[in-house]
Amino acid sequence: MKIHLLYRGAVLAALAVSSTLVFAQAGSLRAGAAKVELSIPASMFPITDKQKFADVHDPIYARALVLDNGHSKVALIVLEVTQLTFGAELVQAASDELKIPAANIILCGTHNHNSPSLNGGGFGQAPTKLPFFDIVKKSMIEAARQANANLQPARIGFGTGKAYVNTNRDQKIGDAYHMGYAPEGPSDKTVAVISVTKPTGEPIAIYANYPVHSVVMFLSKTKDGMTEVTSDLAGWTSNYVEAHFPGAVGLFTMGPAGDQNPLFMSTYNQDAPDVHDEGTAGWGILDVLSRRLGEEVVRVTRNIQNTQDKVVLWGGQATVTCPGRKFVPIGGQPAQPAQRGPNNAPMQAVDGDPVNINIGLLMINDIAIAGAAAELFNDVGQQIKRESIFDHIVIPTLLPDDVGYVPSDLAFTLPSQMAARNRLKPGCAAPALAGAFNKLEKEYLPIYQAATK
């Protein structure tokens, strides 16, 4: 169906909505989880990508969690890659393997910049599949298959904590805002955890979410003058969690982190004149940050007590359409230095094509997993939380075919480096996304109430 969202009296966005499991029923929970390495053959090295990779420092994985209540089934899949180009094909492959609708799948990347790209093609060129795409697709299907084969009686619970390993990165350097260190800026420290356990309490899977870019080692040269493949902060945090719960699978997802970087990085001050690469010393930074984040995930997991073994499973999808803009050359000086184009040419914003942002909502009883195919800024995620009708909410980002950065109103005002030339017009995306998730939740609520009365 097609409706229009009204916000402060103005039509700002069109919203297309679809959902499944309209007659969802409660049932006994079964769960299965698995992880499969995204094995990169030695013949591919050195990999000339957006950065040069000399070798694999530590493995990267596809991780999958499947939940089934006897009436319906959903899947949560995490890939330790930068972004999911050709994502529709990946979702369809998972859907075919598990024999469930696409709306019942939340597939996301960790936005790990130290993994090869799934696609090629430069600016303005159509993407083409690179050999790594087939590796990712095959491994993802196998992880989903194994998770589905491992289904067993389970219980599920939700908890939150705080971790201080991220920071706002919109720092004023010179006369413009760049990626840097801005601890006074907006920054959510919430660690959200979904724990899935056996009836006896041993974890089967831990699904964690935290707003931080997984870029501790981004561009850091650690071998032969090149970078190395690593799962970075997201993967190392998952590994830490798995080490503390043997046999369990840890799935780490990036929350609204469009303006959130790790507190420390191996390549410090990338946009400033005094940029410095710590090189192999960066692995120590990564170890400390992943331990701090992993410790909080483990602590929260161990303190989750109100678990449930009877669940309603439901999935819905929507597409939010916002007005777009593009930048064209003008004479004279631009309003902001960040708005200069190629060869430092002044640019101005004019009307552009509308921007479609895909979202997916998975409901597990009163746990809302609100996924967005975008890099949401901190304040956008906070608005989604405020307008949610559920207290237990997780916001994974980087779903397939993401639109890139979705800045907050504050970021457009600065303007943030990622807002100054953003193809979204200010004022639409944050309220529209919050409203879209709220509408999907309201569609689900009577179904949940009827199934559990």
Query: Residue 7 has what pLDDT?
Result: 31
Give dist(CA 365, CA 157) in Å, integer: 10
Q: Which residues contact residue 66 at a Cβ distance below 8 angstroms, ignoring those fewer than 6 apart?
A: 31, 32, 33, 73, 74, 75, 98, 144, 147, 148, 150, 151
pLDDT at 26 over 90: yes
Please give the tally of structural domains in the chain.
1
- Going by DSSP bridges, is the β-strand pair 10-19/2-7 parallel, antiparallel, or unpaired? antiparallel
Specify the amino acid at residue 358. N
Instruction: Assign 329 a pLDDT band (cuts: 50, 70, 90).
Output: confident
Report yes or no on 453 lying in a domain: no
Report yes or no on 292 lying in a domain: yes
Task: Encode pLDDT of 390-416 as tens digits.
Answer: 999 999 999 999 999 999 999 999 999
Query: Residue 98 has what pLDDT?
Result: 98
Residue the block writes with tokens 């007659």: 23
pLDDT at 130 over 70: yes
Q: Over pLDDT 90: what percentage of the chain?
A: 80
Report yes or no on 451 lying in a domain: no
Which residue range forms the structural domain that includes residue 204? 31-309+376-416
Query: Residue 4 has what pLDDT?
Result: 31
Report yes or no on 36 lying in a domain: yes
pLDDT at 337 over 90: no
Q: Smallest Cα–Cα separation from 111: which of 131, 84, 89, 133?
A: 84
> Which pTM was predicted?
0.92
pLDDT at 20 over 90: no
Q: How many helices (H) and strands (E) does the chain have?
A: 8, 29
Query: Residue 15 has what pLDDT?
Result: 63
Q: Over pLDDT 70: what percentage of the chain?
A: 89
Query: Residue 174 has what pLDDT?
Result: 82
Query: Residue 345 has what pLDDT?
Result: 59
pLDDT at 332 over 70: no
pLDDT at 443 over 90: yes
Report yes or no on 283 lying in a domain: yes
pLDDT at 426 over 50: yes
In this structure, of 249-258, 339-348, 413-422, the range with the lowest mean pLDDT score is: 339-348
Task: Encode pLDDT of 252-282 as tens digits.
Answer: 999 999 999 999 999 976 666 677 899 999 9
- Determine the 3-state secondary structure of 395 from DSSP: coil
Instruction: Assign 96 a pLDDT band (cuts: 50, 70, 90).
Output: very high
pLDDT at 241 over 90: yes
Find the mean pLDDT for residues 146-162.
98
Report yes or no on 227 lying in a domain: yes
In this structure, of 2-6, 227-231, 237-241, 242-246, the range with the lowest mean pLDDT score is: 2-6
Find the mean pLDDT for residues 300-311.
97
Query: Residue 10 has what pLDDT?
Result: 31
Residue the block writes with tokens 């939380």: 385
Report yes or no on 172 lying in a domain: yes
pLDDT at 200 over 80: yes
Task: Encode pLDDT of 292-303 as tens digits.
Answer: 999 999 999 999
Query: Residue 18 has what pLDDT?
Result: 58
Query: Between vectors from CA 390 to CA 314 and to CA 163, what angle results, nearest 5°?
Result: 110
Report yes or no on 93 lying in a domain: yes
pLDDT at 153 over 50: yes
